[in-house]
Structure 1
Amino acid sequence: MSNPTKKALKPLEQALTELLAQARPLAGSDSVNTLDADGRVLLKDAISPLQVPPQDNSAMDGYALRCADAAQPGALLPVTQRIPAGSVGQPLQPGTAARIFTGAPVPPGADAVVMQEDCQALPGPQGDPQADPPWGSVRVQQPPVLGQNIRRAGEDIRLGASVLAAGTRLTPAALGLAASIGLAQLPVARRPRVALFSTGDELVMPGQIAPEQMPPGAIYNSNRFFLRALLQRLGCEVSDLGLVPDRLEATVSALRQAASGHDLIVTSGGVSVGEEDHVKPAVQSLGRLDLWAIAIKPGKPFAYGRVWAEGQAGQAQQPAGGAHFIGLPGNPVSSLITFALLVRPFVLRLQGVADVAPRCIKARAAFAWGKVDQRREFLRVKLNAQGELELFRNQSSGVLTSTVWGDGLVDNPPGQLIQPGDEVRFIPFTELL
């Protein structure tokens, strides 16, 4: 018989929708050098003040000519000029060719470029080595096609076109595109200010106690390392508040400190309902908190709320100086996956990114999965040489090895069995981390 007092599990899509509804883009902006804008989020559309290419140019090293002058195989044309990249040639006279190099403007009158591999260069016009100018002649082996090997002016970018939309998370390629239209500075969303701390008296830091001297029950705090790195990858300014003792007053003090001057507080551990889980009453004493049991595995315990430094508990509105609060589970794989599925899109939305959903691809399973669960499961898998997915041997929420060994996650619906050869939804870690 089901327990009527047990809180229903919240579907992931519902949890994400409710979470993102709270993630209003942060006020403020920065103007940064384009060279330093990797990973930042563009605040305004980047409009091109020019066309790219600025004029017709050659896509090959070869010879610019008129198709009508080389309509027959083996046509021989005098070479009357040489046009390297960065130079501008003279109008091409009928019956002649121009030696041209990749990126050089195509001279007026030319309507094709023949690559040098399809030509035979001869010294001097009509083979005369003493002729002046000294560029000789060229034999065109095959008749060219109109427009061959010519990159047309504006074929990449038109004057006045929006080349990068507001809300774009800038990549190295996007920086190159911005530079190609002459943008030395870019307006970007300001970095979210995030306070991070862990709870748990069992936690110790690497270097604090040698492995051979670890007392019974103690574990190293791995969550702190990957959560801090993930936040920094998302463009956040992270204030690392370290470990907080499992005491209510210590947790309240840490939250009060974090609520001042930060946009978001992220914690790991202490979001369950045990006697040593003090995050819930601490947050409630300083603001408000929703505890969600999310229908995912690994994961499930997740908390979202608001915290104010002055302890305005129960406030429905958002007073100045408050911070978003997100509490993650303590098990490392659970913490990492709930971060990837929920915190990552939340942080991106704070910076104005509209499309925060990771891209999934279809792939074939090279494994069997017969453990039916009521929750949506995220299985750690690896692509093999055949392009199929292999399953890590241990899917426990405490086995962080699976996330390093794997290439991503299989997003498996509740109650779904998997047989070898079945098509599954695969989310690469490159989309999540």
Structure 2
Amino acid sequence: MTTDICHQSGLISVELAREQLLEAIAPLSETETLPLEQACGRVLAKPAQAQLDLPPCDNSAMDGYALCGESDTSLQLVGKSLAGHPFSGAIGAGECVRITTGAPLPAGADRVVMQEQAELQGDSLTLHRAPKTGEHIRRRGEDVRSGETLLDTGTALKVPDIALLAAAGVAQVTVVRRVRAALLSIGDELRSLNTPAAELGEGNIYDSNRIAIKAALAQLNLDIVDLGCLPDEPRAIRDGFLAARESADIIVTSGGVSVGEADFTRTVLEELGQLELWRLAIKPGKPFAFGHLPRENGRALFFGLPGNPVSALVTLYQLVLPALEKLKGVSDENRQPPIQCRARLLNPIAKKPGRLDYQRGCTWRDCDGQQVVQSTGVQGSHILSGFSRANCFIVLPREGGNCDTGDWVTIEPFRAPLV
């Protein structure tokens, strides 16, 4: 075993950390009922059931002519059926009705000929091709039956889900209430974006983490309480945590979870609550912390992200997002783990064994259709420009070492909220 691996042996694997996170979290139980148009991205707390058949009647799949049975090549036009304006009578042998896509099938009709396969002159229709029974007909209820459960509890509603429910007459849905997230940064060096650059003191930096994390969480249908920035002072951190735990289901901090002499987040967390995870075998992002702060009506979950900006976003994406999905009530079968695939590496990558490494890269298909990936350059946990250019993580295994040009590596294309 190498010295590097021995040095990292006390770190928790990312896989185990995710497992322990999910085991420690119970989904929210409070619900609310919303109009369907306000429910995209929310998680169903009750199944959604169809209020009618889809299609609601037999109708035409094409613009053309509705016919009755085996017909001669010449037919008499007796009317028309349009969407919203059906033909009121019935048709018999030797007759046809002009029909548009989605229009109800007239009584007696059992097939539709496409308009391109027939020619109308006056009220006489000549067929260029005889349609078969049932051709170009959509049958009532062939998609959905009235009373059928369309989506189960635990489904995070997507745009196609909204379309399905609306078509099936579902006007409102019962969903899990929004997760309330308290967000704050910790660090004496941090300054607001309102501070002019010329007024930044030596060693001061802008509080970019809180802005970026807030932008990410805003895409996830959370209610966000922004508590600003706290100094590296135990009393201030303690007061901030006490305020956060009363207003939120989760507390997300950045900074103050390392082992420096001014990093007090872990100390205050253990004073007020419980630390359940700390120091993971992940790069970037080793000083990630997870725990909880008890309160009278339950507890607030705590996610302490590292202070380095790339580390904060990587751990948010890889660890906090799966936890949020469970907290929001997304069922196991409806959770969407990151998609990974293989790609040919276009440049050498340096890596030391000991931590699962999420390097930032750009991936595309080359002119031969092969998936390729290239590192965005220097991979320091402070290098945001490379992260901004990236569209994927290059996922290098914990005990793996350097990679050479031409090697096959695992990549993980970005998904929301990184895109």
Fold match (TM-score > 0.5): yes
Residues 237-246 or 254-263, more deviating: 254-263
The one-letter amino acid of 2:16's match is: Q
Aligned-residue offset at 1:432: 5.4
| 1:377 paired to 2:357 | yes
Matches within 5 A, 1:23-422: 23-66=25-68, 68-69=70-71, 75-89=73-87, 90-123=89-122, 136-208=123-195, 210-308=196-294, 320-354=297-331, 355-374=334-353, 375-384=355-364, 386=366, 387-414=371-398, 415=400, 417-420=402-405, 422=407
Find the residue that maps to 1:260 and give its secondary structure: helix
Aligned-residue offset at 1:274: 1.2
Aligned-residue offset at 1:69: 0.9
CA distance in structure 1 between the aligned counterparts of 2:12 and 2:188, rounded to whole angstroms? 30
Aligned-residue offset at 1:88: 2.8
* Contact 2:71/2:130 (<8 A) preserved: no
* Contact 1:360/1:425 (<8 A) preserved: no
CA distance in structure 1 between the aligned counterparts of 2:34 and 2:47, rounded to whole angstroms? 15
| Equivalent position of 2:14 in the other structure | 12
- CA shift in 2, pair 1:361/1:99, >3 Å: farther
* Contact 2:220/2:417 (<8 A) preserved: no
Aligned-residue offset at 1:7: 6.0
| Equivalent position of 1:429 in the other structure | 414
CA distance in structure 1 between the aligned counterparts of 2:335 and 2:10, rounded to whole angstroms? 26
CA distance in structure 2 between the aligned counterparts of 1:357 and 1:81, rounded to whole angstroms? 51
Q: Give deviations 1:386-422, integer Å, cap 9, x for gaps.
A: 3532321222211122332122222222305545555
Aligned residues: 407
- CA shift in 2, pair 1:421/1:159, >3 Å: farther
CA distance in structure 2 between the aligned counterparts of 1:420 and 1:54, rounded to whole angstroms? 58
Aligned-residue offset at 1:297: 1.4
- CA shift in 2, pair 1:382/1:301, >3 Å: same
CA distance in structure 2 between the aligned counterparts of 1:103 and 1:257, rounded to whole angstroms? 57
CA distance in structure 2 between the aligned counterparts of 1:6 and 1:380, rounded to whole angstroms? 22
CA distance in structure 2 between the aligned counterparts of 1:87 and 1:364, rounded to whole angstroms? 55
- TM value normalised by structure 2: 0.91
Q: Give deviations 1:270-321, integer Å, cap 9, x for gaps.
A: 1112110010111111111134221221111111111135xxxxxxxxx624
Find the residue that maps to 1:188 and give its secondary structure: strand
- CA shift in 2, pair 1:381/1:61, >3 Å: same
Find the residue that maps to 2:135 and give its secondary structure: coil
* Contact 1:262/1:323 (<8 A) preserved: yes
Aligned-residue offset at 1:362: 2.2
- TM value normalised by structure 1: 0.88
CA distance in structure 1 between the aligned counterparts of 2:404 and 2:103, rounded to whole angstroms? 57
Aligned-residue offset at 1:95: 1.4
| Equivalent position of 1:129 in the other structure | none
- CA shift in 2, pair 1:420/1:81, >3 Å: farther
* Contact 1:40/1:169 (<8 A) preserved: yes
CA distance in structure 1 between the aligned counterparts of 2:404 and 2:412, rounded to whole angstroms? 19
The one-letter amino acid of 2:306's match is: P
The one-letter amino acid of 1:390's match is: Q
Aligned Cα RMSD in Å? Answer: 2.1
Find the residue that maps to 2:70 and give its secondary structure: helix
CA distance in structure 1 between the aligned counterparts of 2:387 and 2:117, rounded to whole angstroms? 52
* Contact 1:28/1:190 (<8 A) preserved: yes
- CA shift in 2, pair 1:164/1:291, >3 Å: closer
Find the residue that maps to 1:308 and give its secondary structure: strand
- CA shift in 2, pair 1:139/1:47, >3 Å: same
* Contact 2:345/2:408 (<8 A) preserved: no
* Contact 2:219/2:417 (<8 A) preserved: no
Q: Give deviations 1:360-403, integer Å, cap 9, x for gaps.
A: 14242342344233211212222335353232122221112233
* Contact 1:194/1:236 (<8 A) preserved: yes
The one-letter amino acid of 1:179's match is: A
- CA shift in 2, pair 1:6/1:385, >3 Å: closer
- CA shift in 2, pair 1:269/1:61, >3 Å: same
Q: Percent of pairs identical after alignment?
A: 38
The one-letter amino acid of 1:430's match is: R
Q: Give deviations 1:3-62, integer Å, cap 9, x for gaps.
A: 989761211111001001111011211111111112111111111122100111111111
Find the residue that maps to 2:51 and give its secondary structure: coil
